[in-house]
Amino acid sequence: MGCEETAAGRREAGGAALLLERVSRRFGSVTAIADLSLGIERGEFVTFLGPSGSGKTTTLMVIAGFEHADAGEILIDNESILRLPPYRRNIGVVFQNYALFPHLTVAENIGFPLRQRGESRARIAERVGAMLDLVQLPGLGGRYPRQLSGGQQQRVAIARAIVFAPRLLLMDEPLSALDKKLREELQLEIKRLHERLAITFIHVTHDQREALVMSDRIAVMHEGRLQQFATPGEIYDRPANRFVAGFVGEGNFLEGTILADGAGRVILKLGEAFVAAPARELARPSALMVRPERVSLEAGQVAARTAHNRLSGTVVEFAFIGEMHRYVVATECGQTLIAKETHREDIPVRPPGARVTLTWAIEDTLLV
């Protein structure tokens, strides 16, 4: 059986499909969610990504039932949940601050949802033991939250949210309080947990790298509106607009006079220089964009190459960032570009003041 068939089987086995239809939420004169529509498949891992105030957490709270929608419809497996109280929606929630009960042990925290549902002591003990194993905390059931590290507390919060077998798991910036190394470790742990449970995960973050690592699809939001809903690769390589291009990853934006050449390309005039990109349908294109890691540096002047853009300039800043060299280059046409090169012994460092030529493939240039 192939990997795709296995994944499909897991999604059929658990999780719920979620549909938001023209959902809006206002707080006085402020519109937190504006006419939001999207569909999430069973067993999918979806991230709501955006800056503070983009509406992503409000959307999560409306799905959970902790906030009401002013307009629109929300359906789980084709059934409306808008009139259901939170406790009847069968949705697990992991909060940003974990929200563990400090006076209860780890086992009591995890078993709390089952006690609320009237489960027997034997059933609770069985489920709590299984959850402790699942989140890699065996033998810690008798400890209190204050006796755990931040990463361990987060695991307890996740175990409590899934112990009653919810059809959806909502996570509101669950890793934001952790240090970088632990956050990156838990990103992969949560992703592996999702694969094992095969339930639908909806995750909120402002961390673009976290969203790219963890998600099947990403919903990029800004000022309450959905900007793009697509796979991480599509979001990064084919951003729907300039906001998405600038928010997800680092980009060089080239602004000038946009022309058409009649051969399926657009041309940007930058003083005496020209930069080309494949044509694409956009509502209001304003610039061309290229990712820094797609830009190559060559010493001095070099001959033009077919199907490549080329700008000459001077290095004004260099930074060593571990696996990469990061350059800021002031070009002769007045544009400042960032280029990133892999750190290797056979690639020389260009110090500030060095004359270089920046080249990149036309196909790596995006109209945004």
Shared domain check, 258 and 115: no
Q: Which helix (H) or strand (E) holds 128?
A: helix 121-134
Looking at residue 271, its pLDDT comes to 84
Q: Which of 205, 225, 247 is the last residue of a domain?
A: 247
Shared domain check, 114 and 70: yes
Q: What is the CATH number of the domain that holds 121?
A: 3.40.50.300
Shared domain check, 282 and 237: no
Looking at residue 3, its pLDDT comes to 41
If one counts every other C-beta atom within 10 angstroms of the C-beta of residue 290, the result is: 24
Shared domain check, 262 and 145: no
Shared domain check, 162 and 103: yes
Q: What is the CATH number of the domain that holds 270?
A: 2.40.50.100
| 118 Cβ neighbours under 8 A, 6+ residues apart | none
Looking at residue 120, its pLDDT comes to 96
DSSP letters, 182-238, are HHHHHHHHHHHHHHHH--EEEEEES-HHHHHHH-SEEEEEETTEEEEEE-HHHHHHS
Shared domain check, 145 and 87: yes
Looking at residue 304, its pLDDT comes to 58
Q: What is the DSSP letter of 333?
A: T
For the entire predicted model, the pTM comes to: 0.91
Shared domain check, 297 and 260: yes
Shared domain check, 151 and 267: no
b/e per residue 76-90 (b: at least 16 CB within 10 A): beeeebeeeeeeebe
Looking at residue 157, its pLDDT comes to 94
Shared domain check, 85 and 49: yes
| Nearest alpha-carbon partner for 134 in 203, 193, 199 | 193
Looking at residue 6, its pLDDT comes to 39
- Give the chain's domain count: 2
Q: Which of 226, 247, 268 is the last residue of a domain?
A: 247
Low-confidence ranges of the chain (pLDDT < 50): 1-13
Looking at residue 152, its pLDDT comes to 93
Give the domain range for residue 257.
Answer: 252-367
Question: pLDDT tens digits for 332-360?
Answer: 999 999 999 999 888 889 999 999 999 99
Shared domain check, 281 and 178: no
d(CA 101, CA 297): 55
Looking at residue 12, its pLDDT comes to 45
Looking at residue 295, its pLDDT comes to 96
Q: Which of 232, 247, 262 is the last residue of a domain?
A: 247
Shared domain check, 220 and 275: no
| Nearest alpha-carbon partner for 131 in 145, 146, 117, 111 | 111
Shared domain check, 291 and 240: no
b/e per residue 351-367 (b: at least 16 CB within 10 A): eeebebbbbbeeebbbb
Looking at residue 300, its pLDDT comes to 63
